[in-house]
């Protein structure tokens, strides 16, 4: 009994924390929507009517009355940059009369409730546009969106924000499959699918919008993974077969501790030839790594290509101006030292290291040109290198 009570208390604690987090997200997102609604419908530099704003707010939030003080609304409008605010005398007199009729206790309560912060809290908890990720008003918002002959960006954006939690949940599910794609990338791709779902959804359908949107979001994310996560693009249908093959192999390994090719082919309803063909594609094309891939989490600027020497490589690394100047200076010093050697010794070094045409020659090839044996060429080369190493200019170049 004691264990049951403890588990119940812990569950209630986690539920309370979750509600606090949700309410915090509510307040932030709905204040943003209110700001955008006012700025989209009224121009800051023009004169505006307070009653006109209140009427449009009531229509947009789908309520009969707007339980907010005019003073708080005026303060908020001035924070947005509105200076020319027209106030009707009747409204002022009515507010004054109402203020005089309440007692002191009610006045204290109203002062606590009708602050500017409470203005957003009221809409977050009680009215139609509640929170980001709250899909419960999808039906009303979709009816409003599809019932309008013109595209309504505000309602469309509200639908997008309302269903962000659904996109994030699906994106997290496929994160382990996305090589080279971050969670933000998957969420962006999922949002493209959500856009299609909003535009294509039929409000007369019996199923919910979340069920309908799930298919579009998942398709958009999986297609993006197939198209963009690999260095070499693999057709989507082939990626689906490879993923199915890997899933079956994992299941067999977990159940029987071994993978039988015949059993995998039987479950996939395919032949051994196609099985080995998929394995070859997976081995050859799904393990490629980009030279621009990151290799360190702590330093996002480090790429694989930065740690590969340019010598004997098929790609070209553009040297900096300082590197070009340093290489040029070294070549001048080396050429100066070679010019001080006798002609035959200089010719041996030039041929051996390919200093003229970039094509180094073997000891035997140099021996044929000079007219001596390959062993004699080796001895002369070793003597020249010892001489150059002891040169003052070469020693200074090393330092």
Q: Calculate mean pLDDT across residues 129-153.
A: 70
207 and 271 in a single domain? The answer is: no
Tokens describing residue 50: 């307070």
Angle (CA) 136-175-267 rounded to 5° is 100
- Domain extent, residue 151, equals 137-228
97 or 357, which is more confident: 357
218 and 241 in a single domain? The answer is: no
249 and 288 in a single domain? The answer is: yes
Give all strands (DSSP E) within 291-339, no chain letters: none
pLDDT-based confidence at residue 95 (cuts at 50, 70, 90): very low
What Cα–Cα distance (Å) separates residue 228 from each residue in 189, 235, 300?
Answer: 11, 11, 20
64 and 119 in a single domain? The answer is: yes
Q: Quick check: 265 and 272 in contact, CB under 8 A?
A: yes
Tokens describing residue 289: 């790594």
CA 108 to chain centre: 48
100 and 25 in a single domain? The answer is: yes
Asked which of 157-166, 225-234, 373-382 is least confident by mean pLDDT, the reply is 225-234
145 and 180 in a single domain? The answer is: yes
pLDDT at 319 over 70: no
Whole-number Å distance between alpha carbons of 123 and 60: 12
75, 97, 129: which is the final residue of a domain?
129
pLDDT-based confidence at residue 148 (cuts at 50, 70, 90): confident
Q: Calculate mean pLDDT across residues 24-32.
A: 47
Domain count of the chain?
4
Note the pLDDT of residue 88: 54
Tokens describing residue 232: 């070499």
Whole-number Å distance between alpha carbons of 166 and 215: 11
Three-state SS at 48: strand
Note the pLDDT of residue 275: 92
**Domain holding 181: CATH number?**
1.20.120.1810
Asked which of 122-136, 199-213, 251-265, 277-291 is least confident by mean pLDDT, the reply is 122-136
- Taking alpha carbons only, the member of 316, 320, 361 closest to residue 328 is 320
238 and 264 in a single domain? The answer is: yes
Residue listed under structure tokens 């790609």: 315
pLDDT at 360 over 70: yes
Question: How many C-beta atoms lie closer than 10 Å to residue 10's C-beta?
Answer: 10
317, 337, 370: which is the final residue of a domain?
317
**Domain holding 298: CATH number?**
1.10.10
Of 50-54, 72-76, 179-183, 270-274, which one has max mean pLDDT? 270-274
78 and 92 in a single domain? The answer is: yes
94 and 23 in a single domain? The answer is: yes
Q: Quick check: 377 and 355 in contact, CB under 8 A?
A: no
133 or 285, which is more confident: 285
312 and 327 in a single domain? The answer is: no
36 and 118 in a single domain? The answer is: yes
pLDDT at 124 over 50: no
Question: What values do phi and psi take at 294, rounded to 5?
Answer: -80, 140
283, 317, 351: which is the final residue of a domain?
317
Residue listed under structure tokens 């700025």: 39
Contacts of 161 (CB under 8 A, 6+ apart): 29, 33, 132, 133
239 and 310 in a single domain? The answer is: yes
Contacts of 122 (CB under 8 A, 6+ apart): 67, 68
Give pTM, 2 decimals.
0.40
Note the pLDDT of residue 105: 40
303 or 263, which is more confident: 263
Q: Calculate mean pLDDT across residues 193-218.
A: 87
Burial class for 108, CB neighbours closer than 10 Å (0-12, 13-18, 19+)? exposed
């Amino acid at each position: 009994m004691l264990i049951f009570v403890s588990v119940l208390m812990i569950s209630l604690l986690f539920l309370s924390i979750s509600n606090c987090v949700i309410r915090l997200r509510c307040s932030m997102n709905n204040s943003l929507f209110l700001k955008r609604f006012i700025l989209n419908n009224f121009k800051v530099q023009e004169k505006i009517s307070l009653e006109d704003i209140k009427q449009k707010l009531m229509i947009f939030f789908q309520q009969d009355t707007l339980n907010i003080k005019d003073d708080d609304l005026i303060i908020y409008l001035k924070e947005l940059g509105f200076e020319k605010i027209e106030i009707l005398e009747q409204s002022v007199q009515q507010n004054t009369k109402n203020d005089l009729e309440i007692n002191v206790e009610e006045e204290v309560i109203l002062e606590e409730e009708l602050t500017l912060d409470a203005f957003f809290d009221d809409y977050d908890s009680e009215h139609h546009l509640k929170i980001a990720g709250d899909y419960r008003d999808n039906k009303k918002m979709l009816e409003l969106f599809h019932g309008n002959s013109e595209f309504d960006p505000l309602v469309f954006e509200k639908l997008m924000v309302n269903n962000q939690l659904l996109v994030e949940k699906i994106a997290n599910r496929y994160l382990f499959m996305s090589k080279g794609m971050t969670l933000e990338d998957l969420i962006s791709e999922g949002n493209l699918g959500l856009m299609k779902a909003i535009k294509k959804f039929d409000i007369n359908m019996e199923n919910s919008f979340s069920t309908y949107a799930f298919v579009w979001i998942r398709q958009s994310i999986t297609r993006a993974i197939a198209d963009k996560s690999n260095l070499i693009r693999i057709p989507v249908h082939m990626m689906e077969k490879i993923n199915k093959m890997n899933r079956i192999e994992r299941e067999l390994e977990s159940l029987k501790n071994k993978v039988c090719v015949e059993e995998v082919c039987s479950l996939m309803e395919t032949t051994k030839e196609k099985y080995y063909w998929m394995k070859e594609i997976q081995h050859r094309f799904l393990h490629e790594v980009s030279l621009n891939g990151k290799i360190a989490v702590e330093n996002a600027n480090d790429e694989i290509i930065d740690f590969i020497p340019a010598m004997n490589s098929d790609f070209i690394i553009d040297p900096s101006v300082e590197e070009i100047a340093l290489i040029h200076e070294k070549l001048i010093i080396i050429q100066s030292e070679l010019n001080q050697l006798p002609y035959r010794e200089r010719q041996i070094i030039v041929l051996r290291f390919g200093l003229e045409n970039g094509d180094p020659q073997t000891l035997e090839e140099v021996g044929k040109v000079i007219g001596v044996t390959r062993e004699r060429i080796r001895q002369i080369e070793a003597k020249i290198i010892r001489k150059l190493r002891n040169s003052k200019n070469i020693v200074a170049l090393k330092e």
